[in-house]
Amino acid sequence: MYAIVEIAGQQFKVAKDQKVYVHRLPEAEGSKVTFDKVMLIDDNGSVTIGAPAIEGAGVTAKILGHLKGDKVIVFKKKRRKGYKKKNGHRQYLSEIQIESIAASGVKAAPKKEEAKEANTETKELGSMTVAELKALAKERGITGYTSLKKAELIEALSK
């Protein structure tokens, strides 16, 4: 059984107990992470393809360690101009081990609908004039609204 999963912006073909080097993950060493952007799962010949991802599928992995990759030399030169630049780079990586591949039953990350509602309310407040914002602040019982600027009124009303 294998899966094609998106990890840190790149797609990887992974199987159970496989070790993979990926771009640095923000979680600590030894912690478990779940990746829910699974594009394809092959279970002994039965292939499931997502559009773009399979709903409810997930890959669980354990972070083994954080490290730096090999040095890459970046050399730039323009001939006959005397221009040479030599630079080096080492990529930050995380080594993970795939623990399980689940075709269904993995909970997706909870969506922050409240944050979206507050964001739309802030956008609506931003389109109002200062006089309208002051009237709204008076209705909601906010004190000291008369000396506030537009940005301060929006901040006070969005709380």
Residue 29 token pair: 């060493």
pLDDT tens across 49-85, in order?
999 999 999 999 999 999 999 999 999 999 999 999 9
Residue 155: per-residue pLDDT? 83
CB 50 within 8 A of CB 39: yes
pLDDT tens across 126-153, in order?
888 888 888 888 888 888 888 888 888 8
In single-letter form, the type of residue at position 15 comes to A
CA angle 61, 62, 65 (to 5 degrees): 130
Q: Is the pLDDT confidence value at 117 over 80? A: no
pTM for this predicted structure? 0.64
